[in-house]
Amino acid sequence: MLAPPVADDREDAVRTRAYEHSLNSSTLPAGSPALEIRDIELRFGGVVALQDVSFTVTQGHIHSVIGPNGAGKSSLLNCVSGLYHPQQGSVTLHTGAEGVAHELTSFPPHKIARLGVARSFQNIELFSGLTVLENLMLGRHTHMRHSIAASLLWFGPARAQEIAHRGLVEEVIDLLSLQAFRHKPVGSLAYGIQKRVELGRALAVQPSLLLLDEPMAGMNSEEKEDMARYVLDVHELAGVTVILIEHDMAVVMDISDRVSVLDFGRLIADGTPDEVKANPAVVEAYLGAEDH
């Protein structure tokens, strides 16, 4: 189990209000459907990657998607982020105070990103020669409206926007305790710190929905615990709704509000962590994976 935070309730409440204001773009009421996945089918030639997958992600939740290797977890995130376009079904994102519906299955990735969906990947996708600060600033590109010429000359609205973007990135650095690494090239940092920077770049998008694809992959137990705490901070302090793919069952069951389980591209369980742990189909799927 993760240890409770050491900050007192008053300080934590102040931080929560500050981060929610700047790092979470969603105005969707808590408890509303944030993302609805209905009857998704994804095929590659004769191979069925996902079949009849349906579940709902609730605003303000950490919703984990688990399953053995090859179950279709990353393919599902690719359908949400626009990298894959399923042959059947719908992926509906709700935004704004009124919950305006956006059908994502035909949208390109950049359009989905502009709606507030950000993601990280299994393998680190950072610019190793750039500093932590520069990599995080790249996460602001979907919000930049000034021209390249104005950016180079750094005047007028471009200057004001650059200052605002920098201020938000500094809050990400503070939230993820990256102050000591701000001006260091990412390629010079330890693996666990690089994974934290990648989380930060996704958070710099100011997401309403954050997709995390195995953010703890390749980490030792101490690094995993640190990353789990940061994911909780992103959720609890910044108020961001999270879809998490993770193989460490202890972490998943400890921090998730709801868990969906895939096996061979099909949804075999969807419920609270306690409900999923007690589901015979889940036990069989994981025991079967271990037997092989």
Q: Quick one: pLDDT band at residue 121, thresholds 50, 70, 90?
A: confident
Q: Is the pLDDT of residue 149 over 90?
A: no
Q: Quick one: pLDDT band at residue 269, thresholds 50, 70, 90?
A: very high
Say if CB 243 and CB 210 are below 8 A apart: yes
CA distance 60 to 30: 6
Q: Quick one: pLDDT band at residue 137, thresholds 50, 70, 90?
A: confident
Residues found in the chain: 292
- Domains of the chain as residue ranges with CATH: 1-17+31-116+208-292 (3.40.50.300), 128-206 (no CATH)
Q: What is this structure's pTM?
A: 0.84
Q: Quick one: pLDDT band at residue 126, thresholds 50, 70, 90?
A: confident
For position 291, what pLDDT does the model report? 46
Q: Quick one: pLDDT band at residue 151, thresholds 50, 70, 90?
A: low
Across 242-251, average pLDDT:
93
For position 142, what pLDDT does the model report? 56
Across 188-203, average pLDDT:
92
> For residue 56, how far is the Cα from the chain centroid?
16
For position 287, what pLDDT does the model report? 58
pLDDT tens digits for range 91-108 = 999 999 889 999 999 999
Across 42-69, average pLDDT:
96
Minimum mean pLDDT among 6-20, 205-219, 274-288: which range? 6-20
Say if CB 77 and CB 243 are below 8 A apart: yes
For position 10, what pLDDT does the model report? 42
In three-state form (DSSP H/G/I as H, E/B as E, the rest C), the secondary structure along 126-155 is CCCCCEHHHHHHHCCHHHCCCCHHHHHHCC
Q: Is the pLDDT of residue 194 over 60?
A: yes
